[in-house]
Amino acid sequence: MSETHLLDSFLEMMSAERGAAHNTIAAYRRDLSDYLAWLGRQRVLAREAGRDHVAAYLERLAAEGLAASSSARKLSALRQFHKFLAADALRTDDPTRIVASPRARRALPKVLSVAEIDRLLTFAETQAADPANSDAERLAARRLHLQLELLYATGMRVSELVELRRVAVLRDAGFLTIRGKGNKERVVPLTDRARDRLVDWLRDLPPGPWLFPASSDSGHVARQVFARDLKRLSGMAGLSADRVSPHVLRHAFASHLLAGGADLRVVQTLLGHADIATTQIYTHVLEERLKSLVEGKHPMAD
Dihedral pair phi/psi, residue 215, rounded to 5°: -85, 65
CA–CA dist 235, 232 (Å, integer)? 5
Q: What's the pLDDT score for residue 19? A: 87
CA distance 47 to 88: 11
Q: State yes or no: pLDDT of 220 exceeds 70.
A: yes
Query: What is the DSSP annotation of 2-14?
Result: -HHHHHHHHHHHH
pLDDT of the residue at 278: 76
Q: Indicate whether 301 pLDDT > 70.
A: no
For the cut 80, the answer to whether the pLDDT of residue 284 exceeds it is no
- List the catalytic residues: 157, 181, 247, 250, 273, 282
Which residue did the predictor score with more confidence, 17 or 168?
168
In the structure, what pLDDT confidence band is assigned to residue 49 with cuts at 50, 70 and 90? Answer: very high
Q: 213 pairs with which residues across the strands?
A: 220
pLDDT at 110 over 90: no
Q: Does pLDDT of 137 surpass 60?
A: yes
pLDDT at 261: 84
Domains and CATH numbers, the chain: 3-87 (1.10.150), 114-296 (1.10.443.10)
Is 70 exceeded by the pLDDT of residue 21? yes
29 vs 289, residue with greater confidence: 29
Query: HSE-up of 125 (CA within 13 Å, CB side)?
Result: 13
> Which range (46-50, 78-82, 267-271, 290-294) has the least confidence?
290-294
How buried is residue 164: exposed, middle or buried, by Cβ count under 10 Å (0-12/13-18/19+)?
A: buried
Residue 258 banded pLDDT, cuts 50, 70, 90: confident
Q: Are strands 185-189 and 175-179 parallel, antiparallel or unpaired?
A: antiparallel
Dist. CA 60–CA 143, nearest whole Å: 54
Confidence of residue 70 (pLDDT cuts 50, 70, 90): confident
Look at residue 277 in the predicted model and tell me its pLDDT: 74
Q: Is the pTM of this model over 0.85?
A: no
Could you tell me which of 56, 54, 43, 44 has the C-alpha nearest to residue 94?
54
Residue type, 29: R
Tell me the mean pLDDT in the region 222-239. 95
